[in-house]
Amino acid sequence: MMIKAVLFDFDGTLVNTNALILKTFELTLKHYLPKQIFTKKQLMNFIGPTLKQTFDSLYIEKSDEMIDYYRKVNIQLHDEMVEIYPTVKEGLQLLYNNKIKLGIVSSKKHDMILHGLKLFNLNQFFSCIVGEDDVNHPKPHPEPIEKALKYLDCCHKEVIFVGDNSHDIEGGKNAGVLTCGVSWAERGANYLKQFNPDYILDDMRALINDIEEVNNNGS
């Protein structure tokens, strides 16, 4: 086995958008469902699924309208509320310098992923982006990861998928790639361990060491 590429989720993995997402959901739900009270735990459950899945489950008659409202608010708040996680840029630079192909597989729209990458000058590292509007079936369905594998010209045994949510780990397993959870996930490492990822990462800079270990053992 030789690892040639790493795929990353975006929100909560490379960039801390948790506060932004929770605030956007809060404002959207207050606008459309003012009589309902949502706890932070309930709002957290909306992180991971697509907006359509979430709003269909809450108010299907207004789902499309709620998605548009959510995106309008999210864009307005985005740049002032998001932060890049520590060690992410350094870790990506190490992978890039070692000729590891890099891609994004996210439940976010393609253009917003690109906007976030450019905000922190991360777009230079990535060869492909697969957003929720690029596929018919979002994570944990294997389609988004399989599409990225085609873009990067890699087979499933050559790839690690890194994410912060159950959808990421399950999606990676469904696609037959190695999986890696990040310890800085909002729900924490112990939550991710329930889904049996192959690795838990405490520091993005250490990912290159895990890859080298796999590649040395496989040679």
The yes-or-no answer on residue 153 being catalytic is no
Give the contacts of 65 (CB within 8 A, at least 6 positions apart).
32
The catalytically annotated residue of 9, 11, 134, 164 is: 9
Q: Are 192 and 169 in contact (CB under 8 A)?
A: yes
Q: Which two tokens stand for residue 17?
A: 């958008």
Q: What's the CA angle centered on 128, arms 105 and 167, to 5 degrees?
A: 5
Query: What number of other Cβ atoms are within 10 A of residue 173's Cβ?
Result: 19
Among 198, 219, 195, CA closest to 210: 198
DSSP secondary structure of 63-93? HHHHHHHHHHHHHHHHHHH-EEPTTHHHHHH
Residues marked active site are found at 9
